[in-house]
Structure 1
Amino acid sequence: MKLVRYGAAGSEKPALVDSAGQLRDLSAHVTDITGETLGDAVLDRLRAIDPESLPIVEGDPRIGACVGKIGKFLCIGLNYSDHAAETGADIPKHPILFFKANSAIVGPYDDVVMPRGSTHTDWECELGVVIGKTAKYVSKADALDYVAGYCIVNDVSERHFQTQLTGQWTKGKSCDTFGPTGPWLVTRDEVPDPQALGMSLDVNGQRMQTGNTATMIFTVAEIIEHLSQLFTLHPGDVISTGTPPGVGMGIKPDPVYLKKGDVMELRIDGLGTQRQKVSQDD
């Protein structure tokens, strides 16, 4: 099942994608796609609905982030060995964790707006994992049972803010619009193996990133196990699991960064596509 939120920012409505690719409104069944509606019981109820019985969403509405009222926006750094190598970093012994401010979250086709003075804004195509039920002290063997579904995340990063402003990576990861999420929340029953998903990112039509979740250092299950030993994961929390090689800062000999007017296009097998145009605050 592919769940979607559509409409103006802050007023999104829930929908699902039918077999023909049309949006079908779910407002009569749930008020939104949030942590409150991501448990197995509610998802099973939605899955049992005949899509043909749902109203078609007319026109070409804006698509919002596929999860509303996201709790924690957790990100894993340097989780692909070849990406760690391109940045000159050592392979981490444990998942590297940083947080992205929820105010960074936007829809998958919304503009990415570089902050004032930014010259080092970069792209990162990532697999997003959406938690569906409360997870505390979870084992790797059971970890995927706590997943509601998967989505695409663009972990947009301002590298100067991230590495040169004293403090945590969060400074360069949390700028407004730096968290495009969606378009779909694909429920876990449609993603039998989250470690076998091809992914790519283009900038202005040029392929920059090509990868596969099979090359993650820490698998989705290992990440959930690790994080749940440290703190409780709640329904509606999102984990962005790291990016493959091909980011702008890793290009040799001269890194390449985004500029006003650039267009990013992201794809992950079975999870749809994203497209963002880049603009910049004055």
Structure 2
Amino acid sequence: MKYGRVMYESRVHDVVEVDGKVQLRDGRLLDEQEVEWLAPVEPQTIFTLGLNYADHAKELSFTSPLPEPLVFFKGKNTVNGHLGKTVRPNDVEFMHYECELAVVIGKSAKNVNKEDALDYVKGYTIANDYAIRDYLENYFRPNLRVKNRDGCTPVGPWMVEKDDIDDPMNLQLRTFVNGQKTQEGSTKDMILGVAELIEYLSSFMTLNEGDLILTGTPKGSVDTKVGDEVVTEVEGIGRLVNTIVGE
């Protein structure tokens, strides 16, 4: 089952996907363009992984394993919905997408072993974690402006229940810019998988229901311009559409 959240007739609705349509609780079926999309869950803490795909790390000239995972936080202000718009600042030269599998935590988790980690997952969704390279100090001390601008992280449109994904570590990821495929990879190439990330994070802090873990992106991130339509896809979950606009 695929679950989502939309704004319709001035109200927030929890919805499900039925035959490509958006179904309200009263049974009405709507086209995706008839609603304003919200993230499928109201995020609490948002964790973002950097350099968690071997090919992407190599692309950025990191040839040796990192001593520990590169993790940083994102604010709720960054979250944007399906079919939403993301602002490209006028003064930047390199703003790129990052197609990512996002993990939705389903219950409180502390000191969880990786063997039990998936028991704490509610489901999975798609995130497009835009980054502005112009603002990057270095990969180990990412400037807040790189990934914390308002609306710079489209999420959705759907959350797929955990049990509907056979293997989260074998999903294809693809990005299309104006219909042209620019990025392709697989979650099997993550350095730390979903279970290992939950084990690591829960070893020093409590994960709570609604927390999101953005698990990183494979190689292939390219610059995006005002007017570009960016589509990020994760196998078994769907496609997330976003448009770049100017200030």
- Shorter-chain TM range is over 0.9
Secondary structure, aligned partner of 2:3:
strand
Distance in 2, matches of 1:101 and 1:162, equals 17
- The answer on 1:235 being equivalent to 2:209 is yes
Distance in 2, matches of 1:80 and 1:166, equals 16
Q: 2:241 maps to what in 1? A: 275
1:97-154 CA-partner distances (Å, limit 9, x unpaired): 0111210101021011113422221110000000000000000000000000000000
1:139-196 CA-partner distances (Å, limit 9, x unpaired): 0000000000000000100111123799534320111111100010001010121001
Give the alignment's TM-score, normalised by structure 1: 0.82
* Residue 181 (structure 1) aligned to one of 155, 164, 171: 155
1:41-64 CA-partner distances (Å, limit 9, x unpaired): xxxxxxxxxxxxx51233521221
Contact 2:23 2:30 survives alignment (8 Å): no
Of Structure 1 and Structure 2, the greater strand share is in: 2
1:46-87 CA-partner distances (Å, limit 9, x unpaired): xxxxxxxx512335212211112x110110110100000001
Q: What is the percentage of aligned positions where both structures have the same residue? A: 36
Secondary structure, aligned partner of 1:12:
strand
* Residue 30 (structure 2) aligned to one of 54, 58, 62: 58
Secondary structure, aligned partner of 1:234:
coil
Cα 1:195–1:169 shift into 2, 3 Å: farther
Q: Which letter does structure 2 place at the counterpart of 1:113?
A: V
Give the alignment's TM-score, normalised by structure 2: 0.93
- The answer on 1:79 being equivalent to 2:52 is yes
Contact 2:170 2:188 survives alignment (8 Å): yes
Q: 2:226 maps to what in 1? A: 260
Cα 1:75–1:58 shift into 2, 3 Å: same
Distance in 2, matches of 1:8 and 1:244, equals 35
Stretch of structure 1 that moved more, 143-152 or 90-99: 90-99
Q: Which runs of 5+ in 1 are unaligned?
A: 27-53, 249-256
Contact 2:70 2:140 survives alignment (8 Å): no
Distance in 1, matches of 2:242 and 2:5, equals 17
Cα 1:164–1:226 shift into 2, 3 Å: closer
Q: Which runs of 5+ in 2 are unaligned?
A: none
Distance in 2, matches of 1:136 and 1:271, equals 27
* Residues paired across the two proteins, number: 244
Q: Which letter does structure 2 place at the counterpart of 1:21?
A: G
Distance in 2, matches of 1:106 and 1:81, equals 28
Distance in 1, matches of 2:137 and 2:118, equals 33
Q: 2:7 maps to what in 1? A: 7
Secondary structure, aligned partner of 1:186:
strand
Q: 2:87 maps to what in 1? A: 113
Q: 1:22 maps to what in 2? A: 21
Cα 1:133–1:164 shift into 2, 3 Å: closer
Distance in 1, matches of 2:90 and 2:207, equals 34
Flag the structure with larger Rg.
1
